[in-house]
Amino acid sequence: MRIVFVGPPGAGKGTQSQRLVERLAIAHLSTGDMLREARQKQTKVGRLAEEYMAAGKLVPDELVLALVGERITSPDCARGVLFDGFPRNVKQAEELDAMLAERRMAIDMALELAVDDEEVIRRLAGRGRPDDEPRVVAERLKTYWGQTRPLLDYYRGRGILETVRGDGTIDQVFARVLKAVDKRAGRGGARGSE
């Protein structure tokens, strides 16, 4: 199964992804994690991405798409992938569809994790990642509403969008996530295998 996880910063995408990839035995592809690793290793991509991440803006599409293009060819992605924080705009979504189509694959489900801005601000206030300072969180939220939210219409139009509330405990949210995945799998999105 190939799932796209969409939600504002701090919605809990990373937290829920860890559990979901274990449950479904699929690969976890987080562009945020990949970019942070590149930044830490000071690769060319990492150095180029740095200023955008620090400002809460999207890293240029071509950099992100190059990272993803390389990653999805690795064997662990053959059984399925949970895309966490990617795509981040409609252009990236179109490119992802094209990359998958070349391999006769497609996205089975887009999972929206809905959390309001106040909760995002509260959750990120105490975490301490370099981009969690209030000014950058405000910019990340702005980026989300302006550039990432339109993806929901993109996937809704294909009839593959499921929305899950991201408030409550991590266990409560995970139960909702599993319910949404089961619902979608029941409609023909192959679960686990493929």
**82 touching ligand AP5, by CB under 6 A:** no
Residue closest to 14 by CA, chosen among 92, 156, 113, 131 = 113
Residue of 101, 125, 170, 190 interacting with ligand AP5 (CB under 6 A)? 170
**61 touching Mg ion, by CB under 5 A:** no
**85 touching ligand AP5, by CB under 6 A:** yes
Tabulate helix, strand, coil % of the chain (nearest 5): 60, 10, 30
Strand partners, 4: 83, 110
List the interface residues with Mg ion, window 20-59 (CB under 5 A): 32
Q: What is the largest CA-CA distance in the chain?
A: 44
Residue of 2, 28, 39, 123 interacting with ligand AP5 (CB under 6 A)? 123
Q: CB 66 → ligand AP5: shortest distance, Å?
A: 11
Instruction: Name the segment binding ligand AP5 (CB under 6 A); options: 10-18, 19-27, 93-101, 178-186.
Output: 10-18
Specify whether the CB–CB gap between 69 and 99 falls below 8 A. yes
Using CB under 6 A, list all residues that contact ligand AP5: 7, 9-15, 31-32, 35, 52-53, 56-59, 64, 85-86, 88, 92, 123, 127, 131, 140, 169-170, 173
